[in-house]
Chains A and B, each alone.
Chain A
Amino acid sequence: MRISTMLAGSLATVLIATIPAQAETLRLMTWGSYAPENIIKLFEEKYPGIEVAVTFSNNEEMIAKLRATGGAGYDLAQPSHDRIYAAQLEYDIYKPMDLSKINTAAMEPSLLAGVKANTTMDGKVYAVPHQWGTSGLMVDKTKAPDLKGWGDLCDPKYKGKTSMRLKRTILLGTAFAMGEDPFAAYADLSKYQEILDKVAVKLIACKDNLKAYWKGGDDLSAMMLSGEIVASETWDSTAYRIFGQNQNVVFVPPSTGALAWIDTFALPRKGKADDAAYKWINFVLQPEIVTMMSASSGAIVAVKGGKDLLPADKKAAVNAAFTDADIANLKFFANIPPGVEDMEGKTLEKIKAATSN
């Protein structure tokens, strides 16, 4: 009995060891535009032994998939920086990173430090930054020149002409607009619940003012470009894309500060191609690849001088949107403690189910 188990065990080890030796596959789970064809091609040319298989996803699905398999099935994932700590605590789906294998010198030190601070558990670092961007407002400046803050989406002046996505971003933005600091309240969940309740009242009252809740970049773009709405809560990348087609539509960082997220690299706990993953990370941090990446994703890569490496059109859009003061005013999403997603989910349900009049 013992012998056979051992045999089976060693056989399995041999099998596992031999398969990657022939043709290694890097199974990458990332956001829609974070692994464009041209970059994959260059990477595979440089490392002929590695084949890149990409699965496009989003924060929630990445975590759900890794949770379902206990961290297997993928070799590299790119959740946002605030989605590492709690997910690791609850579901144990990542493995610590070996920073010596990563060209951390190329990274913007403040972003690296921020991500490390957010994702260190028991002295081990679980993620490094890749790209960052913001959520804020998108405004047609010819039609709503004085729309400046999150709360202005609920201004009756724009009744039926504004939109937002009914997700946590708008909860947080609205909380800031009401003078609260929700991230500080993460430490005291009953305080956070109070804030959420106030936000819910505000957003339920606001419901009547909205044309619709948008569900994805496509329907948001369609509503904005057709002129059906004049302003919306948005991802900056979507706003930049529209700016390319209509220069009147600009990204406006809300007066209380745009909410900033950093998409990271993290290693799933049962990933099998760590070396290839490190190679990919270092590969995409090279300046010429950074520009190609930003062209595809519309986000700023977290390397030193990342803003300067943006392609020309995106640089123009970012410069039209951000002043240095705006950048100083960014509010980085704080780590989500366990339980907060559930509280926020309930609040969102309440808002969705409520009738505003």
Chain B
Amino acid sequence: MQKDIKRLSLILLFMPFALWIVVLIALPHVGMVILSLQEKIAPRVYQYSLHNYIEFVNEPIYWNTLLRTGSISLLVTVLALLIGFPVAYYIAKIAGFRTRNGLFLLCLIPLWVSDLIRAFGWILLLRETGIVSGLLQWTGILGSPMEFLYNDAAVIVGLVYTVILFMIVPLVSTIDGMDNSMIEAGYNLGGNGFTVLRKIIIPYAMPGIVAGCIVVFMLTAGSYLTPILLGGKNSSWFTEQIYDQFITRYNWESGAAFGFLLLAFTSLVVWLGLKLSGQSLSSTVAKS
């Protein structure tokens, strides 16, 4: 009796979690896969086929866009790491307790406004008649207005800005856990600043680095508004492709296939990254 009650309460406790996983995560994905395997042959008539995937392979525009999205996302990830690491190191090791909270708050501020507002912020700054162009003319560096918007660089800047917090947070938490004496020991045993960084701080922070990179890469590859609004005439983004398939072209089947391909592609990149860095998911994302 007692045992049954225990088991029942355990089941009840796990119910919301299990429901959440099954209903909100597993089922939609199964639905997506089934949808992606359908081909429309006439109005309201569908049959199972790999048509949508074959379509993807046969159309260079699609896989070029996917590769482009992937490579820009990788670049954004690297930039976010290069900028985020010193910031995280400063917050975790150098800043005092109060400065530290202030700095964390500063990093959080961009998240208080929506994606859309943030993108418009960048548009105001970077446009031809915008603030950056105006300032550069005022200082005399530029002779005439210059357009900084509508190109890949603007997209990259906007994306790095959006995702950098997700790099900094796991980095701060791992670097923070590092005993200062570890760094001192690195110097004491004869290492210079570079050796200590390369052999001690970075390997120690590796779980945080990998966790941050995974999160940032996934967020970037899956982002929609920033690349659409800041991008130029040629900057296509894979999520835009998916949106177009679903919404503009009413082609849910192919949209589902694209969505699934994006998931598979980003997972593959993450898997490769984990292999190359010698980390595992449980030692990185799960930890931080």
Chain A residues near B (Cβ < 8 Å): 60-61, 63-64, 67, 87, 89-92, 167, 207, 210-213, 215, 218-219, 222-223, 226-228, 338, 341-342, 344-345, 348-350, 352-356
Q: Say yes or no: B251 contacts A349, CB within 8 Å.
A: no
Write out the residue numbers on chain A whose beta carbons fall within 8 Å of the beta carbon of B248: 60, 167, 341, 345, 348
CB-based closest 3 A-B pairs: A345-B249, A226-B129, A212-B150
Write out the residue numbers on chain B whose beta carbons fall within 8 Å of the beta carbon of A212: 149-150, 232-233
With A226-B128, A227-B129, A228-B128 known as contacts, the answer to whether A341 contacts B249 (CB < 8 A) is yes
Write out the residue numbers on chain A whose beta carbons fall within 8 Å of the beta carbon of B120: 218
Q: Say yes or no: B228 contacts A210, CB within 8 Å.
A: no
Closest to A218 in B: B120
Besides A222-B123, A348-B248, A349-B61, 5 new A-B residue pairs in contact (Cβ under 8 A), listed by A number:
A207-B233, A219-B229, A226-B128, A342-B251, A353-B64
CB pairs A–B below 8 angstroms (30 shown): A60-B250, A63-B250, A64-B247, A64-B250, A67-B250, A67-B252, A87-B250, A90-B43, A90-B44, A90-B250, A207-B233, A207-B234, A210-B233, A211-B147, A212-B149, A212-B150, A212-B232, A222-B123, A226-B127, A228-B128, A228-B129, A341-B248, A342-B249, A342-B251, A345-B248, A348-B244, A348-B248, A352-B234, A355-B234, A356-B233
Closest to A213 in B: B233
Query: B246 an interface residue at 8 Å Cβ cutoff?
Result: yes
Closest to A68 in B: B252
Write out the residue numbers on chain A whose beta carbons fall within 8 Å of the beta carbon of B44: 90-92
Which one, A61, A207, A348, contacts B247 given CB within 8 A? A61
Closest to B229 in A: A215
**How many Å from the CB of A106 to the closest CB on chain B?**
33
Cα separation A60 to B246 with both chains bound (whole Å): 9
Cα separation A64 to B248 with both chains bound (whole Å): 9
Q: In the complex, how many residue pairs between chain A and chain B have their CB atoms under 8 Å apart?
A: 76
**How many Å from the CB of B246 to the closest CB on chain A?**
6
Cα separation A50 to B195 with both chains bound (whole Å): 73
Query: B236 an interface residue at 8 Å Cβ cutoff?
Result: yes
Q: Say yes or no: B234 contacts A350, CB within 8 Å.
A: no
Interface SS of chain A: helix
Closest to A227 in B: B129
Write out the residue numbers on chain B whose beta carbons fall within 8 Å of the beta carbon of A207: 233-234
Closest to B247 in A: A60
**How many Å from the CB of B63 to the closest CB on chain A?**
11
Task: Give the residues from 84 to 107 in chain B that come closer than 8 angstroms, CB to CB, to chain A.
Answer: none
Query: B241 an interface residue at 8 Å Cβ cutoff?
Result: yes
Write out the residue numbers on chain B whose beta carbons fall within 8 Å of the beta carbon of A350: 61
Interface string of B54-95 (1 = CB under 8 A from A): 000000010011000000000000000000000000000000
Cα separation A354 to B228 with both chains bound (whole Å): 17
Query: B266 an interface residue at 8 Å Cβ cutoff?
Result: no
Closest to A208 in B: B233
With A211-B147, A211-B150, A345-B245 known as contacts, the answer to whether A222 contacts B127 (CB < 8 A) is yes
**How many Å from the CB of A225 to the closest CB on chain B?**
9
Cα separation A222 to B122 with both chains bound (whole Å): 13
**How many Å from the CB of A229 to the closest CB on chain B?**
10
**How many Å from the CB of A336 to the closest CB on chain B?**
10
Cα separation A338 to B129 with both chains bound (whole Å): 43
Closest to B244 in A: A345
Interface string of B23-62 (1 = CB under 8 A from A): 0000000000000000000011000000000000000010
Write out the residue numbers on chain A whose beta carbons fall within 8 Å of the beta carbon of B250: 60, 63-64, 67, 87, 90, 341-342
Write out the residue numbers on chain A whose beta carbons fall within 8 Å of the beta carbon of B251: 341-342, 345
Closest to A226 in B: B129
Closest to B64 in A: A353
Cα separation A87 to B252 with both chains bound (whole Å): 13
Cα separation A106 to B51 with both chains bound (whole Å): 50
Q: Say yes or no: B128 contacts A64, CB within 8 Å.
A: no
Interface centre among B61, B120, B228, B252 (most CB of A within 10 A): B61
Q: Say yes or no: A353 contacts B61, CB within 8 Å.
A: yes
Interface centre among B120, B245, B247, B248 (most CB of A within 10 A): B248
Cα separation A228 to B43 with both chains bound (whole Å): 45
Q: Say yes or no: A353 contacts B65, CB within 8 Å.
A: yes
Write out the residue numbers on chain A whose beta carbons fall within 8 Å of the beta carbon of B128: 226, 228
Closest to B240 in A: A352
Closest to A83 in B: B250
Write out the residue numbers on chain B whose beta carbons fall within 8 Å of the beta carbon of A92: 44
